[in-house]
Structure 1
Amino acid sequence: MEAKHEIIFDKLVYSCVYEKHRGNEEFIPEHFLGFQLSGETHAFHADGNTVIPENTIVLVNKNQLIRTIKYPAKSGKYQFLSIMLDKETLRQYALENKILIEKKYVGKEKLFFEADDFLLNYFVSLAPYINKKKEATPRLADLKIREAIELLLQSTPDFKQILFDFSEPYKMDLEEFMNQNYMFNVSVESFAKLTGRSLSGFKRDFTKTFETTPKRWLLAKRLDEAYYLIKHKQKKPANFYLDLGFENLSHFYVSFKEKFGITTSQI
Structure 2
Amino acid sequence: MKEFIYDGSFEGLLTCIFYGYPLKEDVKITSQDNYIPSLITEPKEIKTEQDKFERVYESIENKLSPSTLRNVYYLYLSEIQGVETLIFNYIKLCYKYGDKINMAKNNDIIILVDRYCKRVSYESHRFTGFVRFKEIGPLTFYAPIEPDHNILPLLTDHFISRFSDQNFIIHDLKRNLAIIYNKTEVTISPLENKKGEELMLSSHMDNFEDLWKEFYKSVNIEERKNPTCQKRMMPTRYWKHLTEMN
Greater fraction of residues in helix: 2
Higher relative contact order (CA 8 A, sep 6+): 1
